[in-house]
Amino acid sequence: MRFALSEDQKMLQDSLAKALAEASPLDRVRKFAADPKDKAADIWQALVEFGLPGIVVPEEFGGLGLSLLEAALASEALGAAVAPVAFMGVVLGPLALSLGGSEAQKAEWLPKLASGEVVAAACISEQIAGARDGAGVTAADGRLTGKALFVPGGGAAGLLVVADQAGGLHLVRGDAPGITRALMPGLDDTRRLAELTFAGTPAEPLQANDALGRLRDAAWVIVAADTLGACQVMLDKAVAYAKERRQFGRVIGSFQAVKHLCAEMVAELEPARALVWYAAYAFDHAPEEASLMAAHAKAHTSEIGRFIARTSTEVHGGIGITDLLGLHFWFKRIGLNRQLLGGPERVREIAARVQGLIPA
């Protein structure tokens, strides 16, 4: 048995990385980060041409019909490029429809999602990370009322997947009446989080047992993979800088202390790669392990991400915190991923509940 990526999976990730290098170089990311009105339409169009919106949409609806592992590999490439793309909705929208959508709902939305005509966003943070005061959505008589926070891509999504306080999922059209959207201030300028308020907004329920749990697991894997990609770039940049920067007539990479810093980053990152890939694989092929593996992947990458972000910046010295280098884009991306859909402490608490170690 071969425990490795297939050639097609490697090709998918490499091809996407090349497409992102052309469509979303760091200078383009800087422009997006500096302009709140920039929708990154050119980057999205390049990804549409690549076929990314349909990555998990079944082939019968015009998608690629790939698994969560391929989606995780794509997320890893997006994290490495700090691409200003709300990829979570690209995965969770079709997944929610596949889990609990009616045939009519699938026929209406999945082709639009696959083509990139419509972008989805998932409003599920309150049911996973815990609700802040005043947040949370209630459902009654086919309508939603309440507030959803920290919604990636929620500011412009044409389809919303909303979790209510009872754990039910609902589809909401982006142009439905009673929706108010506002951008939330955030750490990561490469992705925008939205606050959505619903006031008697019409919604269509999704019918599936534990659909929210499955979306949570998939979202954790996608976030973990994004962190993995960002960490690899920060490591690579630290090593490259250590080979070039000279002090006392020698490159700093020849100093034992700097070697140790780089070696420690590698030692933390490499085992995490297999963990994230297996968590993505388990989602489709080992469902009995999926929740626990997704939790481990999210919590562990959150911890090592903070270590690698800090250590890479340390290796760079003073220039590491300057805008000139741009290292802060990856640093902040990793920082947001740590807290998105639950920090490591919260995720480990949920993992303990899944295993019956603490009361549900």
- 3-class secondary structure per residue, 188-212: CCCCCEEEEEEEEEECEECCCCCHH
pLDDT of residue 143: 97
pLDDT of residue 322: 83
**How many angstroms separate the most distant Cα atoms in the chain?**
74
Looking at the DSSP bridge assignments, the partners of residue 168 are none
Tokens of 38: 């920039």
Answer yes or no: are the C-beta atoms of 157 and 120 closer than 8 Å: yes
Burial class (CB in 10 A: 0-12, 13-18, 19+), 108: middle
The closest alpha carbon to 27, from 42, 11, 16, 14, belongs to: 42
- The CATH code that applies to domain 211-354 is 1.20.140.10
Tokens of 296: 């481990």
Burial class (CB in 10 A: 0-12, 13-18, 19+), 48: middle
- The CATH code that applies to domain 120-205 is 2.40.110.10
pLDDT of residue 2: 64
Looking at the DSSP bridge assignments, the partners of residue 193 are 152, 184
Instruction: Report the predicted TM-score, pTM, of the whole model to 2 decimal places.
Output: 0.95
Question: pLDDT tens string for the chain (360 positions)?
Answer: 466 899 999 999 999 999 999 999 999 999 999 999 999 999 999 999 999 999 999 999 999 999 999 999 999 999 999 999 999 999 999 999 999 999 999 999 999 999 999 999 999 999 999 878 889 999 999 999 999 999 999 999 999 999 999 999 999 999 999 999 999 988 899 999 999 999 999 999 999 888 999 999 999 999 999 999 999 999 999 999 999 887 888 888 778 888 999 999 999 999 999 999 999 999 999 999 999 999 999 999 999 999 999 999 999 987 888 888 899 999 999 999 999 999 999 999 999 998 888 887
Residue 13 phi, psi (nearest 5): -65, -40
pLDDT of residue 309: 96
Which stretches of the chain are DSSP H helices? 7-23, 26-34, 41-50, 68-80, 87-100, 103-115, 125-129, 211-244, 256-285, 287-316, 327-339, 344-354
> HSE on the CB side for 111, CA within 13 Å?
6
* Domain segments of the chain as ranges: 7-115, 120-205, 211-354
Looking at the DSSP bridge assignments, the partners of residue 120 are 159
Q: String of b and e for 161-200 (b: at least 16 CB within 10 Å)?
A: bbbbeeebbbbbbbebeebeeeeeebebbbbbbbbbbbee
Domain at 7-115, CATH class: mainly alpha
Measure the CA–CA gap between 282 and 40, rounded to whole angstroms.
Answer: 33
78: how many CB neighbours lie within 10 A of its CB? 28
8-state DSSP, 132: P
Say if 7-115 and 211-354 have the same CATH topology: no
Measure the CA–CA gap between 357 and 58, rounded to whole angstroms.
Answer: 37
